[in-house]
Structure 1
Amino acid sequence: PIVRIDQPYTEIFRNFVYDNNETLDRSIRLLPWKHLHARKTFLRHLTIENSSELFNQKLQNSLEIFEKCHQHDLYDKKQILMNDSIEIDQDRAWKVYTDHELVTQYLNDKHYQLIDDPDQADILFVMKQLNEFRHETIENKLISQFPFENIITNKELLALTARRWKSLYGSSTSDNDPYIDSHGSPPWLATTFNLTYELSQFAVYFQYREDQQLDNTWIVKPINLTRSIDMSVTNSLDMIIRLPESGPKIACKYVSSPVLLKIPEMENQSIKFDVRYVIL
């Protein structure tokens, strides 16, 4: 209770979801406490035909989200991040400042010299996130980061950037799925919803796939954590609705029919694999 209760048998009410001014969004967040039939009836009424205004909201066109994530990057657009005219002197020892243990341990080529003063370095290879790019740019340093790089390192912004690409250069994604075309996901990216801003659209689409008897397994990820921390794979709408309570999440359609490798040493069992690229 948030107030003192003096009278016996006083009714106590619980708010099952945190305050939200958006009526529809709040109704969606309350669905885990509804009967299954009531949930399905509610979502089936919110079709793309009946609620076109809901699906006309294009999150990828929201500059506010991008600007919020970039507000700490100090960068002068008039300055050049890297001078293409820099000549590579084969006999020169490039001064490198790094806080990366592996770089310190294995960078032993004669063309590089590890130093402790970042101001004297030619190359900055750092793990700590840089926000102030103006000083390093003036010094013509080579840096392992670049301004606004979180549009590809942040899961939330990466998905939105892909959708922006689709709106500019792509064509129709699916002839049979009007929700995906409205959502804007490109064909080469798993359909991704931002559960902070697009929970209502996701819930309606989840019910649509369920009614179409399509695979409805989703992987829910925090927008800014690594090493699979706080990730969940589920086909439960109730669970997906509640997962953002522990922090901002995105929901990506789980690849239900991946390419598999048969391993002779494992009695030809099929296993999953992934390919990762590190760009240096």
Structure 2
Amino acid sequence: MTLTTKTRTPLIEAFFDADTFTVSYIVSDPPTKRAAIIDSVLDFDAASGRTSTRSADILLDHVRREDLGVDWVLETHVHADHLSAAPYLARETGGKIGIGSHVTHVQAVFGDLFDAGQDFARDGSQFGHLFEDGERFSIGSIDAEAIYTPGHTPACMVYHLGDTAFVGDTLFMPDFGTARCDFPGGDARTLYRSIQRIFALPDDTRLFMCHDYKAPGRDHFAWETTVGEQKARNIHVHDGISEDEFVAMRTARDAELSMPRLILPSVQVNMRAGNLPPPSPNGRRYLKLPLDAI
């Protein structure tokens, strides 16, 4: 069946978490009221070690108010700057947690780094579905495709839904640039090539960022742009920037960046699909702090 313009255009609701500068999305198909939640946030207070579902409950309130049926709870990658609320949202909505199949590489590296033990599965089985590059799926009557875009991490995935694409951390707004590539498994040359895959989408494809930090000179947060705008104006990778030029810039820039504030708790939780580590014999859950390791 040929999809009409209406059904190929998803309805997007964005929810900005000011503490982690993260944008979560609810993507829905108005005719069928089927939906996906993308890149959710579990609130975490590092000083007390306490978690909260405050941000996730805002998403749930919207889902219930609009009477949406959630098919997917999607992750663009294993986030290093916020904890995911995916398991909570999946339990509450019945949606299936999805991520790119290369999450197994992330689990192998960080499972060892955090001494997760032999009981920690490194096969991605904590997630409900592992997407392969080019895999097709749907949200109601909206055609969707998973596009593998490594470079920031080895498991990054863009979700191309109708006339939109959710790019995770691969790209930021044009005036802010591109993602860092110095995490384990990251690679600037790979990122450049992944961005070219995004740039191959139609110029009017709407792109939605996972984060925004307000570029110098901009007084507001923003997270929506287009392929055409990125190609014309992205300060790191606009048309005319060669692969070698990008690699040199990105490598030098990454050498000056500090680690994200929540990287240690975030990766330990998110490599488990957002589940907290299993309880110790005393009944409490613990996150590990590897010294001189990252």
Greater strand proportion: 2
Greater helix proportion: 1
Q: TM-score, normalised by structure 2?
A: 0.21
Q: Rg: which structure is higher?
A: 1
Q: TM-score, normalised by structure 1?
A: 0.21
